[in-house]
Chain A
Amino acid sequence: MYAVELHGITKRFANTTANDSVTFTVRSGEIHSLLGENGAGKTTLMKILYGMQQPDEGEIRINGVKQKIDNPSVAIRLGIAMVHQHFMLIDSLTVAENVVLGYEKRKGMFFDMAGAVQAVEQLSATYGLKVDPRQKVGDLPVGTKQRVEILKALYRQADILILDEPTAVLTPLEVVDLFRVLRELKQAGKTIIIITHKLNETMDLADRATVLRAGRNIGTVNISETSPARLAEMMVGRKISFDQAPLSAYPNRTRLLEVRGGVLRKHHVPVLNGINLEVHGGEILGLAGVEGNGQTELIEAITGLTPLDEGQVLLAGRDITRQSPSQMIESGIGHIPEDRNKLGLVGDFSIRDNLILGYHHRSSFQRFKLLKINHIKRFADQLRERFMIKSESIDTKVKALSGGNQQKVVIGRVLSQDPVVIIAAQPTRGVDIGAIEYIHQQLIEMRDQGKAILLISAELDEIRKLSDKIAVIYEGRIVAYGSRDAFDEFELGSYMTRGKPIAETGKEANADE
């Protein structure tokens, strides 16, 4: 019996077709992995199932009955629940309030907090998901927040659970715990769909997997009959290498970028708590860490957006701690921001205008504050060619480009200005595999030219593939530092969640509190 059937689903957006006549079926009581690289259409397809999007064509059947899912409350009524990649939680409210919101426990018009707490406690006990109902969600660690999301789904008596990249923000240990919970839910008869691009986890957990590529369903396989390599090939359409990049051949010993004793406070709380790090010329330092441990503030300090309260930032030995952002850029700090749409690009500006953003003061682009229009045009055309930015023309607004091409604009801009240090924050987030490989190549090339690269990424795979040295940031300090092979996944995970190596924590390693 099929719990979910999607037949011929097509969804078009302004400049892409996210889903192209996709047929996707899920059996009752199975764990089904929906695989694909970034931009393959997985999330869109599931948003359609959950009613957050409407298909242009196609049909949905739930438990054999044709349904029209206009909005999430219809989906919820049908027993479908979605646990989003970016948690849909209200930080200022408690766990109980977050869980029941939308289907609140009431006394007439009034909100019944006690009833909500009780409901959460019951569910928590039934499914082994430990939470404190009265705690504010904003205070919870990421792994616990995810539990709250799952409780939300269970509270709504969901039988079909959709999880969107559930392990993206979890450490390896938290992933183990999540899998335990999911297996228990499967035992209880729930149907689980996991959207993911992680092959190892699919092999570990799922019964079947469906691969989407460029909006089309490439095929559905039984996990017992396939392999990661085969799945990867389906996802990408060709064989891809899992190899690590070659280590830097000529790391020169110069410390190009240093942070000494960096302290940065936000609302009186030290977000950077005496952080020390150094990046040498001709080296990629990969900074691993769970989001929210000070990465953003570190970047802000180095790029001049929010200067350190205490401590120093040094560029080739020169103190640049108090420089303004434009001075930092002029000094040779190239910044590839983690959120390109928010921080890196002006969506309504043309590609050409975006290619000079941050560097528009340079004498190659302006004289006496007048822009050198022809020079800029030539420069932009050159970059477009060199970085293979696909678009109709150089005057196209950047917001019309795909994620990969947008990132190329940012990277092209930074790399073409011969920076001394490059800060690459989540450089391949939301970018398709072809572009990912290209971006990785560019970073390696820059490294080989003697630049110092600070790579900050939530993808441990990316860090381990590219870095010469790895460091882990935890609660605003560096808690681990060594060459790329010095740590394995689980060691890194322990540093990332606890700030300590596994050996120190011993038996506690299995509990997750």
Chain B
Amino acid sequence: MNRLVTLLLSLLGAFACGALILALAGYDPLEAYSALLVGAFGSKNAIANTLAKSTPLIFTGLAVAVAFRGGLFNIGAEGQLYMGAMAAALVGVYATGLPGLLQAALALLAAGVVGALWAGIAGYMKVKFRAHEVIVTIMLNYIAISLTNYLVNYPFKAEGSVPRTDAIPAGMQLTKLMPPNQVTTGIFIAILACIIMYWMFNRTVYGYEIRAIGLNEDAARTGGISIGKRVVLTMFLSGFIAALAGAVEVLGVHKYFVAGFSPGYGYDGIAVAVLAGNHPLGVIISALLFGSLRSGSMNLDRQTDVPTDVVVMIQALVIIFVAIPWVIRKVKLMRKRGDSVGSQS
């Protein structure tokens, strides 16, 4: 209960701060926020849009959260989802002759494996070379984007001027839930992934070990847990899930791989995970919040002259406000004076 109150307070703080900055820059915060609200929830189409924008965020948020629980910072979700998207698109274009459902499943699997391996590089480097995964995953992002850019501009390029692959067959495309809007069954896959991860963390030995490593690596090691193996496993899981975000975008929204299709879903995932407190189920709600910001921002562009990057700013503020642990302690400390620290860490 305490946790929820602090989360709400943090959100409030973030939005208030955003409003202040808007005002200082000469815009009307109320106008901006109401445009956001309308754009996110104001009509059936708006809601559909929100759901559509939330889908990839559930995946990337989950991916980052899973890594966080294991004590790892996976900043590479963006690169992993590009790799996954490319893999899914290629399966769609080249693995022909299969029934649609099977082909879709294969595409998702291929995407996941590719993403897992991509993230696994960072995991392996951390274990073998003590390389900080923040830097490695970010570098891999740039490399992945360049790599897929190359692939989509040369060997796998479709006819025409747009840098994209050929379209995938209709049989494997994800069904739209509220046509003509972009929300698809992909959102169910995303929620399923969250449920599976929740179950994994709380009911399996792997989940137990990963959590132990995240909370106290030394004690985990002394307890016989193989840190190296679990770190790589954590990154595999994280990369797999992030890649699904890309695959679902290809299978459901675009129907092919197109360069630059992600407006930063991988990085948004970080905000989603932080807000959710790295809880696999909380990620769903957190993703909805950020998804609504994104879909709301399209309306911002239409109705006002407020720059859409305001949404980026608000996201940053949410990360910052939510990550501040003091709010919890301040509430406790209001009864005691002095700089008592207690046993909190």
Contact = CB atoms under 8 A, between A and B. Distances in A.
Q: Do chains A and B touch in the complex (CB under 8 A)?
A: yes
16 contacts: A12-B336, A13-B340, A14-B343, A55-B338, A304-B224, A305-B222, A326-B224, A342-B218, A344-B222, A348-B216, A349-B215, A360-B208, A360-B223, A369-B206, A399-B343, A399-B345
B216 A345 contact: yes
Contact of A13 (B212, B215, B225, B343): B343
B216 A12 contact: no
- With a 10 A CB-CB cut-off, give which of B225, B337, B341 has the most chain A CB atoms: B225
A325 B336 contact: no
Nearest to A326: B224
A303 B222 CA distance: 8
A139 interface: no
A328 to B, nearest CB: 7
B224 A353 contact: no
| Interface size class of chain B, counting residues whose CB lies under 8 Å from the partner chain | 20 to 34
Contacts of B206: 369
Contact of B219 (A56, A304, A324, A345): A345
A14 B344 CA distance: 8
Interface in A1-27: 11-15
A305 to B, nearest CB: 7
B222 A325 contact: yes
Nearest to A413: B223
Nearest to B332: A14
Interface in B190-243: 203-206, 208-209, 211-212, 215-216, 218-226
A324 B224 contact: yes
Contact of B343 (A335, A360, A400): A400
Contact of A335 (B211, B218, B222, B344): B222
A329 B205 contact: no
Interface string A264-299: 000000000000000000000000000000000000
Nearest to B216: A346
Interface string A333-355: 00101000011111111000100
A343 B211 CA distance: 15
Interface string A342-378: 1111111100010001101100001001110100000
A451 B304 CA distance: 78
Interface in A54-111: 54-56
A371 B222 contact: no
B309 interface: no
Contacts of A12: 336, 340
Contacts of B344: 14
A328 B224 contact: yes
Contact of A325 (B211, B216, B224): B224
A412 to B, nearest CB: 15
A371 B208 contact: yes
B159 interface: no
The 4 closest A-B CB pairs, nearest first, are: A326-B224, A14-B342, A358-B223, A325-B224
A358 B221 CA distance: 9
A56 B338 contact: yes
Contacts of A400: 343
Given A12-B336, A325-B222, A357-B219, A369 B204 contact: yes
Interface of B: 203-206, 208-209, 211-212, 215-216, 218-226, 336-345
Given A12-B336, A13-B340, 12 more contacts: A14-B340, A14-B342, A56-B338, A324-B226, A325-B223, A345-B219, A346-B216, A349-B212, A369-B204, A371-B205, A371-B208, A399-B343
A426 to B, nearest CB: 14
Contacts of B343: 13-15, 399-400
Contacts of A373: 203
A48 to B, nearest CB: 10
Given A15-B343, A349-B212, A343 B222 contact: yes
A502 to B, nearest CB: 38
Contacts of A54: 338-340
Nearest to B343: A14
Nearest to A339: B218
Nearest to A397: B343
A353 B216 contact: no
B222 A370 contact: no
A347 B338 contact: no
A77 to B, nearest CB: 20
A344 B344 CA distance: 18
A387 to B, nearest CB: 18
A374 to B, nearest CB: 12
A56 B338 CA distance: 6
Contacts of B339: 54
B215 A358 contact: no
B216 A361 contact: no
B340 A343 contact: no
A13 B223 contact: no
Given A56-B340, A371-B205, A358 B216 contact: no
Contacts of A325: 221-224
B215 A346 contact: yes
A328 B208 CA distance: 20
Most B CB within 10 A of own CB, among A55, A303, A353, A360 = A360
Nearest to B199: A370
Contact of A370 (B203, B340, B341): B203
A296 to B, nearest CB: 12
A12 B335 CA distance: 12
A497 to B, nearest CB: 30
Contacts of B203: 370-371, 373
A324 B221 CA distance: 10
A324 B229 CA distance: 13
A370 B221 contact: no
Contacts of B209: 360
Nearest to A371: B203
A347 B342 contact: no
Given A342-B219, A366-B205, A13 B342 contact: yes
Nearest to B208: A360
A347 B345 contact: yes
A371 B215 contact: no
A357 B223 contact: yes
Contacts of A360: 205, 208-209, 223
Contacts of B336: 12, 56
Contacts of A399: 343, 345
Contacts of A344: 219, 222
The winner among B211, B223, B337 for most chain A CB atoms within 10 A is B223
In this complex, the member of A54, A328, A370, A400 whose beta carbon has the largest number of chain B beta carbons within 10 angstroms is: A370
